[in-house]
Amino acid sequence: MTEIKGFTSRIVHHDRLQGFADGPVHAPIYNSVPFAYATTAELVAVFQGRASGHAYARQSTPTTDSLQSLISAAEHGIGTLVFATGMAAISGTLLALMQRGDHLIASRFLFGNTHSLLATLANFGIEVTLVDATDCANVSAARQANTRLVFVETIANPGTQIASLDEIGQWCTQHKLLFIVDNTITSPYLFNPKNVQAGLIVNSLSKYFGGHGTVLGGAITDTGQYDWTDYPNIFPAYRQGDAHKWGLTQIKKKALRDMGGTLSSDGAYQLAVGAETIALRMDRACANATALAILLERNDKVEAVYYPGLASHPQHAKAQRWFRSFGAILSFDLKAPYDCAALLDDMALVINATHLGDNRTLALPMASTIFFEMGADKRAALGIGDRMIRCSVGIEDTEDLISCFAEALARLSPKVDANSQ
């Protein structure tokens, strides 16, 4: 038979080809917590990893297994574990792989909660160095004898900085370090971190993957490129058999089983349905973001636009080389004295909300919300200006979005400072 190659063809036919009884085209929702075996010997074989099967739903069900194999197919990986949220996937993975006294290097431009998680890990005696990962020289300068891994995102939010993915990947391979790439903002449709030698890939499924803002989920995918025999923290119980499986086995046991951030079968089903249209949604959202970025860049009330699709973006050429398109996260600074709230409250299609990767366009001012707690100095160091707005561009009709922004900007008048009246 002809091989099914295309991204969407593979996803929409994935569940049907899993061979569930009675031929459903969607993986059935298995809501049983325990799984029964006819004989004790069979149950023992599953417990000891000698036979495949499900023991208890905290670790797996046939429904979550099916979503895992769908994500592995989308990322060209050798295996995937799904979690209740992206943060459960990241925290579980780092806690499963790191030990007191170890060191990790991470990008300074990180999703806020990942940033906060790394500060928690530091309290447990794990050393963390944050660097500007748009330049690999900063990553290599941070290496210590106890460095275990490097963690970066593809396109950072809200500044849209792009890590020097291929150079960091090569450097990690050369030094036998594990390279973890959070692919949430690009999704497996725009980019496969396997192409830049990532060992593990993170996806928050709550964003573009599920896409509809109705369900949370997270995933870790092993690309098969990291040699786990080089990783010092694999426990003896998991250093057996095929070394390709050691990493995910330890993460499954230490993170899913022991920490329990498990995705429900209901959630897995909803995410698999959402995933059928990733490519269609991303194509539209990226086209909308590009159109908006061009409009904003030409507007004289806008100081700066941060979008990898613009020729003015510092990593534009790299983004063009690595990603199928430039993503749908776009940020911009209004010029003084224009006011973010006055603009946002005047746009009928733009929802004031902090989520991203939704079908709807969402936006919020950065300095007064997500980055408020850290204070002005840290904001300045991260390039978060007082008049920065982040947009997660949705799939609305392009003409509607363009008119919404263009007309609200035209109506925007300078904010009168109360003290000067």
Residue whose CB is less far from ligand PLP, 194 or 245: 194
Q: Measured from the CB atom, is 163 or 296 closer to ligand PLP?
A: 163
- Interface region with ligand PLP, contact rule CB under 6 A, candidates 28-36, 57-65, 200-208, 284-292: 200-208
Applying CB under 6 A, which of residues 64, 184, 223, 315 lies at the interface with ligand PLP?
A: 184
**Looking at beta carbons only, is 218 or 365 nearer to ligand PLP?**
218
- Kindly state the smallest distance separating residue 36's Cβ from ligand PLP, in Å: 32
Query: For residues 165 and 154, is the Cβ–Cβ distance under 8 A?
Result: yes
Q: Which of 60, 105, 69, 122 is nearest to 262 (CA)?
A: 60
Out of 161, 197, 204, 288, point to the residue binding ligand PLP (CB under 6 A): 204
Residues 338, 395: contact at Cβ < 8 Å?
Answer: no
For position 207 contacting ligand PLP by CB under 6 A, the verdict is: yes
- DSSP summary character for residue 215: -
Position 75 contacts ligand PLP (CB under 6 A): no
Identify the burial level of 413 via C-beta atoms within 10 angstroms of its C-beta, where 0-12 means exposed, 13-18 middle and 19 or more buried. Answer: exposed
Shortest CB 398 distance to ligand PLP, Å: 24
Alpha helix segments (H runs only) across 37-157: 40-47, 62-75, 86-97, 112-123, 136-141
Residues 6 or more apart in contact with residue 277 via CB below 8 angstroms: 211
Residue 153 and residue 157: Cα distance in Å, rounded? Answer: 9
- Give the H or E element holding residue 363: strand 362-365
Helix/strand/coil for 59: coil
CA-angle at 251, arms to 78 and 258, nearest 5°:
145
Among 86, 159, 199, 274, binds ligand PLP (CB under 6 A): 86
- Torsion sign (Cα): 55, 59, 63, 65: negative
Rg of the chain over Cα atoms, rounded to whole angstroms, equals 22
- Going residue by residue from 134 to 163, which x/- string records binding to ligand PLP, judged by CB under 6 A? -------------------x----------
Q: C-alpha distances in angstroms, 399 versus 138, 292, 326, 402, 403?
A: 42, 10, 20, 5, 6
Task: Kindly state whether residue 87 participates in binding ligand PLP, applying the rule CB under 6 A.
Answer: yes
- Cα 202 to Cα 89, 182, 319: the distances in Å are 7, 4, 19
- Our finding on whether 182 is near ligand PLP (CB under 6 A) is yes
- Is 274 a binding residue for ligand PLP by CB under 6 A? The answer is no
* Residue range at the interface with ligand PLP (CB under 6 A); choices 84-92, 188-196, 314-322, 399-407: 84-92
Site string for ligand PLP, 212-251 (x = CB under 6 A): ----x-x---------------------------------
Selected range binding ligand PLP among 79-87, 240-248, 318-326, 359-367, rule: CB under 6 A: 79-87
Identity of the residue, 191 or 238, whose beta carbon is nearer to ligand PLP in the bound complex: 191
User: How far is Cα 140 from Cα 209, in angstroms, rounded to an integer?
Assistant: 32
Q: Which stretch binds ligand PLP (CB under 6 A): 46-54, 71-79, 204-212, 376-384?
A: 204-212
Residue nearest ligand PLP (C-beta atom): 86
Candidates 11, 57, 126, 185: give the one binding ligand PLP (CB under 6 A): 185
Q: Which of 66, 85, 197, 250 binds ligand PLP (CB under 6 A)?
A: 85
Our CB check for ligand PLP shows the closer of 87 and 126 to be: 87
* Near ligand PLP in 97-126, by CB under 6 A: 111, 114
The span from the CA of 132 to the CA of 204, in Å, is: 23
Helix (H) or strand (E) holding 80: strand 79-83
| CB 26, CB 15: distance < 8 Å | yes
Binding-site residue total for ligand PLP (CB under 6 A)? Answer: 14
Q: Dihedral sign for Cα 73, 28, 253, 51, please.
A: negative
Binding mask 8-47 for ligand PLP (x = CB under 6 A): ----------------------------------------
Return the number of the residue (63 or 107) whose C-beta is nearest ligand PLP.
107
Please, which residue, 62 or 213, has the CB nearer to ligand PLP?
213
- Residues found near ligand PLP in the complex (CB under 6 A): 85-87, 111, 114, 153, 182, 184-185, 204, 206-207, 216, 218
